[in-house]
A and B are shown apart, each in its own frame.
Chain A
């Protein structure tokens, strides 16, 4: 198991959701056959994605309005309710072989939350969990949302952390089905944040939380 503590990090940049999803499937297949871990990071043009537990009532606008705004709505194979991705949100798709990390979905979700908490901590923001609600909060607003899929104990989908996201877009939905306000790193810091700086810190934080290092 020489790949056990190694992870290959791939920055997909700003990429259309469906294209990134197809790439995820390729990397999942690679992980299943070769036992290799991957970390995909990206941003998406504005898109609503509907997890397996989506309540249609949590989409607060008509399909017509979404079409007019050019925002696609895509049903996908992850847990959770409806969520929104948009530029300025750092999206993290760990493709991990969970046999290396303990076959424990709850622990994995906790580790994803910890990545966001530690990343925000690097920007001097105190973020936390809310009992019974998966995700990460800061200043009593939600800043990161999680939804995952698992195939043959390999993970896909992941976590979206609002960095410079246009928060007005969240008025289109009831995020994750919760009565919650959303926030972002830039909103809290009251300034624009360079995504590249966040990505660099993310790689360090992710490697620390999952006890992995970059490499093939």
Chain B
């Protein structure tokens, strides 16, 4: 299992809000595919996965606030 976490987005940015999810549990993803879109004030940032695999569980939902390092999804 591998965790997809919210990466460091730059100095002073500690959190953001999930604006939409591109995947659902059971989906097969490849490296570089977008998992969620996150909004931090003036930026909409698409978070890609660094790994390929099947989404075992999606840990966040639309409107949820997440912090840098939080697990967004778990891959099988």
Contact = CB atoms under 8 A, between A and B. Distances in A.
B48 A105 contact: no
Interface of A: 51-53, 77-80, 102-109, 134, 146-152
22 contacts: A51-B42, A51-B44, A52-B19, A52-B37, A77-B37, A78-B43, A79-B39, A79-B41, A79-B42, A104-B10, A105-B9, A105-B10, A105-B43, A106-B12, A148-B42, A148-B43, A149-B46, A150-B43, A150-B45, A151-B46, A152-B32, A152-B48
A134 to B, nearest CB: 5
A109 B32 CA distance: 24
Given A53-B39, A151-B34, A152-B32, A104 B9 contact: yes
Interface residues of B, number: 20
Contacts, number: 67
Contacts of B43: 78-79, 105, 109, 147-150
B11 A106 contact: yes
Interface of B: 7-13, 19, 32, 34, 37, 39-46, 48
Contacts of B41: 53, 79-80, 134
A30 to B, nearest CB: 16
A52 B37 CA distance: 10
A148 B48 CA distance: 17
Given A52-B19, A151-B34, A105 B40 contact: yes
